[in-house]
Amino acid sequence: MSVARTYLRPPVTEAAIELRYETAVSQADLERAAGRLGKEYPIAEAEIVNNVTLDAQAGTTSFSTMWQGIKRSSADRTEVVLFRTGGLVIGHLAPHKGWEHLLEKTQIAWAALGHATGENLALSRAGIRYINRIDIPAGSKQSAIFDYVQFQPKNPEGLISLDTMSEFHMQIVYSIPKTEFGARIALANGLSPLIDHTAIILDIDVFCDHAIPRRTNDVWNVLSEMRVQKNIIFESCVTDKARELFDR
């Protein structure tokens, strides 16, 4: 059962779905798939990886480039589809358009890839990622930010005061009980675009890297189950004081 809540101002700054293939897809197939979405994503950019190789013994340096995929973006660049040799990534930036929108875009991109390759690709990993920015009114004490999240660094007594801490970053990776999923939760302080505010970045990644079903409808069901777990994690990480900010 989902614990999703509807907020007036959800803190999501970026939401994405990633599907990694078991075997690489050719550049020709990826370009055909990307071409099918040209109307909705009119901006096309190649993803190129630059490699530098140093040979200390010979005293030489060599450079090479490798085509990794093609990125298609909406006209306002708030929505993107990455057709990569190793996987498909679909994402959008704030304002958050909702899970149904993200899943629909994924289904469209996956169908385009299926038409281009002529096959239903097997997956080695599936995951959803939501990056949230909680904008907090600046206060006199740094420790006040921990009134908004359920995490707090544990420090050796007498060594560090939370009020004097200028930066922090913590990450947890674990297996979600009674599921086939794993999760990565990252929490850090950050900059807020709002005047007289600070920010907390809450990054949630729920994934599965084994026993992913081959049938397309089953994949969508797995992603929807991941979304349920993502919602549980989010609501467990924030406090009522943070929820008040999302409803202002």
Q: What is the pLDDT of residues 219-237, one digit of tens each?
A: 999 999 999 999 999 999 9
In 3D space, the residue among 98, 75, 71 whose CA is nearest the CA of residue 84 turns out to be 71
Handedness of CA 246, 169, 229, 110 (dihedral sign): positive
- CA–CA separation, 135 vs 147, rounded Å? 13
Domain locations along the chain: 1-22+124-248, 24-121
- CA–CA separation, 234 vs 203, rounded Å? 9
pTM: 0.90
- CA–CA separation, 99 vs 227, rounded Å? 8
- CA–CA separation, 35 vs 124, rounded Å? 25
Using CA atoms, how far residue 123 sits from 81, 94, 209, 212, 225, in Å, is 17, 28, 8, 6, 17
Q: What is the pLDDT of residues 21-36, one digit of tens each?
A: 999 999 999 999 999 9
Amino acid 216: pLDDT: 94
